[in-house]
Chain A
């Protein structure tokens, strides 16, 4: 089965840039979606089709995907961005979520 690997945690100071990676075999050939989940809340889609933003998601959130790594970038990080982030792909028949990354704002 297809596996998506994320770093368990990323720490970033306010105003700086956070980069969250999602590793998978030839993930660049798949469409990657990203979700933000704050404590006690349901996940929210923040990036779809590698780099598209749903309406209402700040431009500070961006995505890229190439080779074996997809990346979610959060620019000018704010305290409210502190959350767990998950990548997700569709692999032929199944939907796969990444292992999740906790973003801590210092």
Chain B
């Protein structure tokens, strides 16, 4: 079974750094793109960026370029999303998802809730 398992919920203060993870299993991790999607409370889905773990080729949405860093460690089949200095406006649910043979995303991870509050 293809599965993406994300790290647990985080509570952070503004200015702190954070790295959340997404571990893939049940398929060749290096052969599929992994995307990250933000969902702010009560809002819709926003594509943040995508990485190809095979060679770490990474693309960012203009809205998130420079705000986050996406990386991957293919030796442990894990993709990451990180912030160097969190803001209250980063409070959201973050999902990773595998891009299929086309441009769709399936499956999705269970989500990681990030809360940034002083």
Contact = CB atoms under 8 A, between A and B. Distances in A.
A70 B109 CA distance: 26
A70 to B, nearest CB: 13
Contacts of A96: 47
B46 A97 contact: yes
* A interface SS class: strand
A99 B44 contact: yes
Given A44-B108, A95-B50, A86 B44 contact: yes
Given A95-B47, A97-B44, A99-B44, A31 B108 contact: no
Interface residues of B, number: 23
A44 B37 CA distance: 13
A93 B103 CA distance: 11
Given A1-B62, A42-B111, A97 B47 contact: yes
Contacts of B97: 43
Contacts of A99: 44
Contacts of A95: 35, 47, 50, 61, 103, 105
Given A94-B61, A97-B45, A89 B108 contact: no
B103 A31 contact: yes
A54 interface: yes
Given A42-B109, A42-B111, A43-B95, A100 B103 contact: no
A28 B41 CA distance: 31
A39 to B, nearest CB: 11
Contacts of B44: 84, 86, 97-100
Interface of A: 1, 31, 33, 35, 37, 42-45, 48-49, 54, 84, 86, 88-90, 93-100
Which 7 A-B pairs have CB atoms at the shortest separation, nearest pair first? A90-B103, A33-B104, A45-B106, A95-B47, A100-B44, A42-B108, A97-B45
